[in-house]
């Protein structure tokens, strides 16, 4: 193959700028090898021309990676808050993939011995888009023989997102587990000592967790001797904080006697509200209060008047009690 014509730096920059100024952007330029001439005609290598923007696009952080998928809030909870849970997601080709909070040895994906595909939602990749990272691991797992794992998240590159691979209209059913024994499902009787040791260690660290039935993406948990509720909300942050401030002003931000709203986690573009619960409260005790709170919140979200000065102070306090996870 002939080499690309050499140009001086100034002329190359001018050519690249000219191509960009004329409306030739990375979205319309075919992807080629990094050392090949850029198809835009600038005379520069692709990696030094439109390949730069393409590379940045694949590592740009996506604020709400699971947006558009039915059950987004539960997937966010599984990806950042829930220790041990699984759900079956329907693929557009008619198959299924089991999404899990974690897999053995923090594998990104696994093609199980029984031919079932599994992906881990709490494994971090480098693309800035967890949906793209999980999809990349899934695609790689599909190419593996049964019984083999994906050992690392593939490097960021052009490729599908989960939204491209899943039937996004099917709402997932979440199964919360007491431990990680689901790792052994579909495997042969002989499991490596490494996996057994990993399983034993992981089970020792599990926080008791239960998903509420009456509302979506609300998870009771017990940490030490204290009970909490973590509830991932689907609304955008600003209107949600306004509504929380209105409820706080009316002393309606709790979930009943002995409960206290303590703050929120910001994760995958959504807020997960957190309450301290009354000592001994179990998940079943929260079903009715959660429904009542959701109704109060829906009503507050519909209010359009300006926040009072007191509400604005309360809102500022709510922001001060946020912790960003992802």
* pLDDT average per 10 residues of sequence, the chain (326 residues): 36 38 56 78 82 62 95 98 98 96 93 93 88 94 93 80 97 96 71 78 92 98 97 98 98 97 97 97 98 98 97 98 92
Provide the H-helix boundaries in the chain. Answer: 9-21, 50-57, 72-80, 130-143, 162-165, 193-205, 237-249, 283-302, 309-320
The pLDDT of residue 194 = 77
Residues 88 and 192 in one domain: yes
Residues 152 and 269 in one domain: no
User: Is 3 within the bounds of a domain?
Assistant: no
User: Is 247 within the bounds of a domain?
Assistant: yes
98 vs 116: CA distance, rounded Å? 8
| CB contact at 8 A, 264 and 272 | yes
User: Is 96 within the bounds of a domain?
Assistant: yes
User: Is 4 within the bounds of a domain?
Assistant: no
Q: What is the token pair recorded at 111?
A: 């093609």
User: Is 62 within the bounds of a domain?
Assistant: no
Residues 39 and 147 in one domain: no
The pLDDT of residue 127 = 87
User: Is 100 within the bounds of a domain?
Assistant: yes
Residues 129 and 170 in one domain: yes
Can you give the CATH number for the domain in which 221 is found? 3.30.1460
Residues 145 and 78 in one domain: yes
| CB contact at 8 A, 124 and 267 | no
Residues 270 and 163 in one domain: no
Residues 83 and 140 in one domain: yes
Cβ contacts of 204 within 8 Å, gap of 6 or more: none
The pLDDT of residue 4 = 35
Residues 254 and 298 in one domain: yes
Residues 142 and 244 in one domain: no
Q: Which domain holds residue 46?
A: 9-57
Residues 164 and 220 in one domain: no
Residues 23 and 146 in one domain: no
User: Is 63 within the bounds of a domain?
Assistant: no
| CB contact at 8 A, 288 and 214 | yes
Query: In DSSP terms, which residues pair with 222 in a beta bridge?
Result: 227
The pLDDT of residue 55 = 57
The pLDDT of residue 22 = 35
196 vs 45: CA distance, rounded Å? 50
Cβ contacts of 233 within 8 Å, gap of 6 or more: 73, 217, 240, 270, 271, 272, 273
| Number of domains composing the chain | 3
Residues 76 and 190 in one domain: yes
User: Is 67 within the bounds of a domain?
Assistant: no
């Amino acid at each position: 193959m002939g080499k690309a014509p050499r140009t001086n730096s100034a002329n190359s920059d001018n050519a690249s700028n000219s191509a960009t100024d004329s409306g030739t952007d990375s979205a319309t330029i075919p992807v080629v090898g990094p050392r090949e001439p850029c198809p835009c005609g600038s005379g520069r290598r692709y990696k030094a021309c439109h390949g730069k923007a393409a590379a940045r696009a694949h590592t740009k952080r996506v604020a709400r990676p699971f947006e558009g998928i039915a059950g987004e809030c539960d997937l966010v909870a599984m990806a950042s808050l829930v220790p041990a849970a699984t759900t079956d997601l329907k693929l557009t080709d008619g198959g299924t993939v089991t999404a899990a909070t974690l897999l053995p040895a923090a594998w990104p994906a696994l093609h199980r011995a029984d031919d079932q595909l599994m992906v881990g939602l709490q494994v971090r990749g480098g693309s800035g888009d967890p949906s793209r990272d999980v999809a990349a691991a899934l695609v790689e797992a599909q190419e593996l023989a049964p019984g083999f794992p994906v050992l690392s998240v593939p490097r960021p590159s052009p490729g599908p997102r989960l939204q491209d691979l899943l039937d996004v209209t099917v709402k997932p059913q979440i199964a919360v587990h007491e431990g990680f024994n689901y790792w052994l499902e579909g495997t042969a009787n002989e499991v490596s000592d490494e996996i057994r040791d990993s399983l034993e260690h992981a089970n020792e660290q599990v926080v008791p967790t239960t998903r509420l039935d009456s509302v979506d993406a609300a998870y009771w948990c017990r940490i030490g001797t204290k009970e909490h509720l973590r509830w991932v909300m689907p609304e955008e942050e600003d209107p949600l904080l306004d509504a929380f401030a209105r409820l706080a002003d009316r002393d309606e931000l709790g979930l009943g006697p002995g409960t206290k709203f303590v703050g929120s986690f910001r994760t995958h573009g959504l807020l997960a509200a957190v309450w301290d619960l009354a000592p001994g409260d179990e998940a079943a005790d929260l079903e009715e209060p959660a429904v009542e709170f959701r109704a109060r919140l829906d009503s507050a979200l519909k209010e359009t008047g300006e926040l009072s000065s007191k509400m604005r102070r309360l809102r500022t306090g709510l922001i001060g009690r946020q912790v960003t996870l992802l």
